[in-house]
Amino acid sequence: MSQAVAGSNDPASRFRPRLRDALSRYGIYVFLAAMVLLGGALSPNFIGAQNISNLLLQFAPLAIVVIGQAFVILVRGLDLSVASMMATAAVITTGFTGVDADVPAIAALSIAIGLATGAVNGLLVTKRSVSPFLATLAGPDRVLGVTVNGEQLSFRVAAVAKRFPGIPQEVSSDFLVVDRPALESALNTSAPGTGFATELWLDTDASKRAAVEARLRKPPFTALAVASRSRLEHSLQAEPVARAALAMLETAALTAIVLALLGLVLGTLSERRDEAAELFDLEAQGVAPAGLRRQLRLRASLAGLAGAIGGIATGVVLSLLVVRFVELTANATSPEPPLELVLDWPLLVAAGLIAAAAAVALVGAATWRAFRARVPARYGDAT
């Protein structure tokens, strides 16, 4: 007895995924065509040339705005000023209706006003790191209307902050920093009892921090959700993966320094061997052995200096790249608080001085016995 099993060769099983994919990609166009055909069936004038021309003229301004808004949405932004900019341009254009004025000049003026307003919003977003939502909501007058505890308040933007501690960037990038007494006064004036604080930040000395944290975990503060930045920082510093990564980077840096010093010594010895003929000729002509040793050491110093400059430049580039690569957490979100490149200058200076002293000592040891024979050694002979 034979049985037929429907598997991957079943035409229906292969057709359904393709149909779903086609509908997800081109379904909107199919829907649009169906609506046009339905409108033409209900009213023959709907697909007439006159009606299509009217539709294009009516939709042209909205289509232009949609194209610009699409680019803003693609970069995870939202521009709220497009409607007001359209209205402003329309009012300016309408104001010159019936006036003996140049139509291209009026159109150019409307476009210039739109460009100026857009440039201000763009500069706030790109140069000052302001949220596109807040930048376009505030407008050129920098007055921002915000609803706080159900009360509508107006704020004037005085400065711009990129982030606020305690607010993860993936949760919300929009925040306001205002004067607390002024805000409470405004809220209580409009609706008494609505202006009160729901979060308290304490900045204590390191010697009293443990006692303060212990007291906050006892009544009557048990109803509070206590979060300690010092404990968070300590837990991050003691995290095994972070410590292992730091140890790996330190080992790699130490290995690179050792290899660089060995390369410098081998380069000095190789140059002594490769330039033996020229050095023998100089020594035979009466150049003092000390001068020849200084020449070898000077060449090694120049090579070491070039290597140090290249190493520093490479280290800077790699440091920036490492921060970029590891600033995403395991769930592909931005870390909170964000990572910053912090250089330990005392450690770097001390490491540089130690490496320089080791290089001088090794090169000196490698050239110490050079040209110390009573007679110049012939080319190819050991010295």
Structure confidence by residue, pLDDT tens digits, 227-238:
877 777 777 777
Question: 145 and 131: one domain?
Answer: no
User: How far, CA to CA in Å, does 114 sit from each of 92, 223, 276?
Assistant: 11, 52, 75
Dist. CA 354–CA 32, nearest whole Å:
73
Question: 130 and 149: one domain?
Answer: no
What would the two tokens of residue 27 be? 């379904």
- Does residue 43 fall inside a structural domain? no
Question: 180 and 265: one domain?
Answer: no
Tell me the residue ranges of DSSP E strands in the chain. Answer: 143-148, 151-156
- Does residue 26 fall inside a structural domain? no
Question: 344 and 246: one domain?
Answer: yes
- The pTM assigned to this predicted structure is 0.47
Question: 128 and 173: one domain?
Answer: no
- Does residue 210 fall inside a structural domain? no
DSSP lists the bridge partners of residue 143 as 156
Question: 130 and 164: one domain?
Answer: no
- Does residue 4 fall inside a structural domain? no
pLDDT over 90 percentage in the chain: 3
Question: 145 and 52: one domain?
Answer: no
Question: 262 and 188: one domain?
Answer: no
**Residue 275 belongs to what domain range?**
239-366
What's the domain count of the chain?
3
- Does residue 217 fall inside a structural domain? no
Question: 246 and 183: one domain?
Answer: no
- Does residue 381 fall inside a structural domain? no
Give the CA count within 13 Å in the CB-facing half-sphere of 119.
6
Burial label for 51, CB within 10 Å (0-12, 13-18, 19+), is: middle
Question: 123 and 151: one domain?
Answer: no
What would the two tokens of residue 26 be? 């081109």
Low-confidence stretches of the chain (pLDDT beneath 50): 1-8, 329-330, 382-383
- Does residue 154 fall inside a structural domain? yes
Cα 99–chain centre separation: 51
- Does residue 95 fall inside a structural domain? yes
